[in-house]
Amino acid sequence: MLKIYNTLSKEKEVFQPINPEKVGMYVCGMTVYDYCHMGHARVLVMFDVITRHLRRHFPQVEYVRNITDIDDKIIQRAIENKEDIYALTNRFIDAMHEDERALGILPPDAEPRATDAIDQMFYMIKTLIDKGIAYQGENGDVYYSVRQFKNYGKLSGKNIDDLEAGARVGVESNKKDPLDFVLWKMAKPNEPSWESPWGDGRPGWHIECSAMSCNHLGNHFDIHGGGMDLAFPHHENEIAQSEGANDCTFVNTWMHVGFVNINNEKMSKSLDNFFTIRGVMENYDGESLRYFIMSSHYRSPLNFSDENLDNAKASLTRLYTATRGLQASESAMEEVSQRFDFEARMTAALDDDFNTPIALSILFELAKMVNAEREKDLDQANALGQLLKNSVVTLAFYKWMQMNF
RNA sequence: GGCCGGAUAGCAAAGCGGUUAUGCAGGGGCCUGCAAAGCCUUACAGACCAGUUCGAUUCUGGUUCCGGCCUCCA
């Protein structure tokens, strides 16, 4: 029985898909103006683990992860680089795919780009305006009227009045309310823009995810995920947009991955304390990074340090060493698997809100057993060793898959 | 200021109202010609103060400290 912690209820819940034949999951992906850092790596790896595990339970899982390829930072970076905006975004999309492969991550089933979804955004914005939930300011920008959505704040546990009290004095005098957020932004000269019913411009950040997720997975789907920092305001705003436009529940289960920290501080671009995946991979292999990420529970903070990466590498080496030179038939492996309950325990660990540290600890128990049996009963050692190889593949330590033992 | 999290042994990291987590590092022993790998064994925990309980690291309340969100961020 798979249980998932839902940010919406703040509880672990038994996961029951809307359609048991097909699970829909949307994860907020990258804004592509720079290389991915370790924080991105954590989200990528964890949702890879999650997708693989969901596929063990359900016949079909549709995993959609978007790419934000138009926004202020992208435009700014393109100007700085004197680079065409599409050349810039394509370059970093390629780099992202390279990083993913290095971490053993399966590509999502769909990877929609914001710039390909403008029509769907128009449709949603128009619906919101028609319903009186969105309005056009005097500067031409279209805003979402937060006060029109009664459940605003339900995901992040905030309420509008508290937010209002702490809000900084609005620079945006075109908004009716400081908390209103932009759906469509008028283009400045020389900026990339699309013709729209409200004037030439480009989409706000939040609307793209509402449009793309509903477009691929329907108005109501199972799982929506991303980094913890997206819960507010991004996901809160997505809920407001989607539920405001579609008059139905948007997402059942919200999942948020914790931060990667450095010296107990969030890794982020603004603090300039980030390490890119490819930078770290100059000194460590992708599989060790994957292990490092799985060594803590996905909702806990993960502290990035050389010591911890060395630790991950050493741990992984122990698992590799244990399987060295061992192999057995499928049936022999099945026999020990059932006798020692290993697969069931692995499944149970992952079923408990994707508890990868427990899953890993089970692999070490198995490794210990394998090592002990090498001296006593070689047949048993071979069977257990084969089981360890198979179990390890469950967590997608991919070298095992490529190795010929 | 408002709203959330967290505090576990030398380091990292989980579950659990009573019984070995796990990995790395440390002590002792074994194996090997030496080493590596491995096996056995051992020490080292639960921020602080109360409360509930026969019994709390695990539940409740308070204190201290740390982090996150409230602005772009995975």
What is the C-alpha separation between A309 and A286, in angstroms, rounded? 11
What is the C-alpha separation between A26 and A117, in angstroms, rounded? 15
**Each residue of A199-231: pLDDT tens digit?**
999 999 999 999 999 999 999 999 999 999 999
Q: Which of residues 266-285 of A touch strand B (CB under 7 A)?
A: 266-270
Spatial CB neighbours of A60, under 8 Å, sequence gap ≥ 6: A21, A22, A23
State the complex-level ipTM. Answer: 0.94
Find tokens 């469950």 and name the residue: A394
Q: What is the largest CA-CA distance in chain A?
A: 82
Q: Which residue is nearest to nucleotide B24 (CA to C1')?
A: A311
CA of A385 to C1' of B31 (A): 21
CA of A252 to C1' of B10 (A): 44
Residue A15 has φ and ψ, to the nearest 5°, of -85, 120
A160 touches strand B (CB under 7 A): no
The whole-number pLDDT of residue A170 equals: 52
Q: Tell me the Ramachandran region of residue A104: left when phi exceeds 0, alpha when psi lies from -120 to 50, beta otherwise.
A: left
The whole-number pLDDT of residue A363 equals: 94
| DSSP assignment string, A107-162 | PPSB--BGGG-HHHHHHHHHHHHHTTSEEE-TTS-EEE-GGG-TTTTTTTT--HHH
What is the C-alpha separation between A51 and A343, in angstroms, rounded? 18
- Bridge partners of residue A37, in order along the sequence: A276
Q: Which of residues 61-90 of A touch strand B (CB under 7 A)?
A: 73
Residues with pLDDT less than 50, chain A = 400-405
Q: Which nucleotides of B are covered by protein (CB under 7 A)?
A: 1-5, 11-15, 21-25, 37-40, 66-74
Find tokens 């979804």 and name the residue: A117
CA of A349 to C1' of B17 (A): 22
Tokens describing residue A201:
């411009």
Q: Which of residues 90-149 of A touch strand B (CB under 7 A)?
A: none
- Bridge partners of residue A257, in order along the sequence: A227
In Å, how far are A66, A119, A186, A206 from A28, measured between CA atoms?
6, 19, 24, 10
Residue A133 has φ and ψ, to the nearest 5°, of -90, -20
The whole-number pLDDT of residue A174 equals: 85
The pTM of this model reads 0.95
Q: Which of residues 16-45 of A touch strand B (CB under 7 A)?
A: 28-31, 37, 39-40, 42-43
What is the C-alpha separation between A322 and A327, in angstroms, rounded? 11
